[in-house]
Amino acid sequence: MGIHLLETNVVRSLTEYCDQIAITAPDNVQETARLMQKMIVSYYQDVRRQALLAFFAAFVLEVVAVAFFVYAAYMTMGGTIQTAALSAISGFLIQLMTAVVFYLYSQSARQFAGFHICLERTNRYLLANALVEHLPDAERATKRAELISVVLNAPTLTLSMIEKGS
């Protein structure tokens, strides 16, 4: 229940930032950049929270698996082979659950990486636009046109590009 509420709060805050960006005047680049930075910080906090939860879950599962293996070794020395085998199989199954936790984490991390790259790209464009504002009037229109051209001609990010880093 607590995790669900936290996820709802993260989604709610990101939705609020998007709503604020939507009503921000187009020429107010600084406010847009401020809201984008808040989105990045929110993203970072969410990814960090997920990483800590995945690590804690994997750590707890690993401790339980080790306990089963130690118990299996103990039972092999003085107990029945059936009890030792059952304990070893239980430990192995817990190891599989740990692998599933890490797999799920890696999948969510990939999704967040894509989102982060999009935010970072947007931030670069917003920063460039803010810098254009400080150019002399004679250069401003030309540089803004160049920036618009770069934004319009930038390749669409794909999952393959994100994974390969190209």
pLDDT per residue rounded down to tens, the chain (166 residues):
455 555 677 788 888 888 898 888 877 877 888 888 888 888 778 777 877 888 888 888 888 878 877 777 777 777 677 777 777 787 788 888 888 888 877 777 777 777 777 777 777 777 777 778 788 888 888 988 888 888 778 777 666 766 666 5
Q: Can you give the residue range of the structural domain that contains 124?
A: 2-164
Euclidean distance between CA atoms 45 and 38, whole angstroms? 11
Domains contained in the chain, number: 1
Euclidean distance between CA atoms 35 and 72, whole angstroms? 55
pTM of the model: 0.59
